[in-house]
Amino acid sequence: MSRRNVWAAVAATVVVAATAGIVITATSDGDDTAAPPATTDVALPVPPTEPEAGPAGEVVVPAASTLVVSFADDIEQFDRPGGAKVGTVAARWHDRPSVLPVIDQRPGWLQVRLPQRPNGSTAWVRREDVALASTPYRVVIDVATTRLQVFRDGVEVLDAPAGLGTDEAPTTVGSFFVAFKQEPPTADEGWGPFVLVTSAHSETISDFESSGDAIAAIHGPLGAEEQLAAGGGYMSHGCVRLLLDDLAVLEDLPAGTPIDVIDSDAEPPVSAIASTVPS
């Protein structure tokens, strides 16, 4: 079976195929089906900061940073520290290196967030099986206010209007992360110079146009500049649209950077921020 994933934006769908590298094709109102070469992917920097070991053997990173792991080959995953093996964690997702945020740790063990469905999937892995780094960045998207914030070392560096999913295909709320960066699927300048593919999957679209999945991404406005300039709104199939100047701030976000999609209007507010802070 062909391993393909889809992320959708209003009047534009990008199909990410894991065969022959990654080929992305885009449709615009069903018309544009251009497929750029598989070599047009963009390398995303791996977090450079090397974590330190604490006095009890735990991995310590600055309070506003997130520990991330990577590994050259598939590794075993477990249901709990020292527990039963329940499968493997793939070293690559859509032919890109897996760089996964750590959400909890025990001596010799790390719990990581996974990019595969269902949303919220995690795994316990052995500390000795992975390489460690950290990212100082965090992204927060509020579906109630249609705002996207970027923080570095806990300091806000961007607060921008965002174009989010409609009621029929809302932007999924939860804890996710930057998976990889991809060149736009077409020459349309509305995409911006790059597309950030995330680990978020649509909860209302399970198999867009027989692609096998529906994955959210962050990209340019695709013609919605006026609506974004007016404060953002609901215009996509779950992807996040930004004005190009705002998108540029996200260019250096490394793989594994956490993305928390919240709903500040919910009672109580739906927020996953606390759950992504390593212990």
Residues 72 and 125 occupy one common structural domain: yes
* Whether residue 91 sits in one domain with residue 142: no
What pLDDT, on the 0 to 100 scale, is given for residue 186?
A: 85
Are 47 and 68 within 8 A, CB to CB?
A: yes
* Burial (Cβ within 10 Å: 0-12, 13-18, ≥19) of residue 38: middle
Co-location of 175 and 267 in the same domain: yes
Question: Are residues 166 and 265 both part of a single domain?
Answer: yes
pLDDT for residue 76? 98
Domain that holds residue 68: 52-135
Cα 169 off chain centre by = 18
Within 10 A of 122 (CB to CB), how many other CB atoms are there?
Answer: 17
Q: Are residues 263 and 143 in the same domain?
A: yes
Q: Return the CATH number at 126.
A: 2.30.30.40
Q: What's the number of domains the chain is made of?
A: 2
Give me the chain's average pLDDT, please: 80
pLDDT digits (tens, 9 = 90+) for 225-261: 999 999 999 999 999 999 999 999 999 999 999 999 9
Q: Are both 58 and 162 inside the same structural domain?
A: no
Q: Which of 141-150, 161-170, 198-207 has the lowest mean pLDDT?
A: 198-207
Say if residue 72 is in the same domain as residue 32: no
Answer with the one of 118, 135, 152 that is the final residue of a domain. Answer: 135
For residue 26, give the CATH number of its domain.
Answer: 2.40.440.10
From 135, 170, 187, give the residue that closes a domain. Answer: 135
In this structure, are 24 and 159 located in the same domain? yes
- The rounded percent of the chain whose pLDDT value lies above 90 is 65
Residue 71 has pLDDT above 70, yes or no: yes
Question: Omega of the bond prior to 268 within 30 degrees of 0, cis?
Answer: yes
- Band of pLDDT at residue 65, cut at 50, 70 and 90: very high
Residue 20 has which token pair?
């022959």
- Could you give the dihedral angle defined by the CA atoms of residues 81, 178, 149 and 182, in that order, rounded to the nearest 10 degrees? 180
Residue pair 145/162 in contact by the 8 Å Cβ criterion? no
DSSP letters, 8-69, are: EETTEEEEEE-SSS-EEEEESTT-------GGG----PPP-BPPEE-TTS-EE--TT-EEEE
Last residue of a domain, one of 92, 119, 135: 135
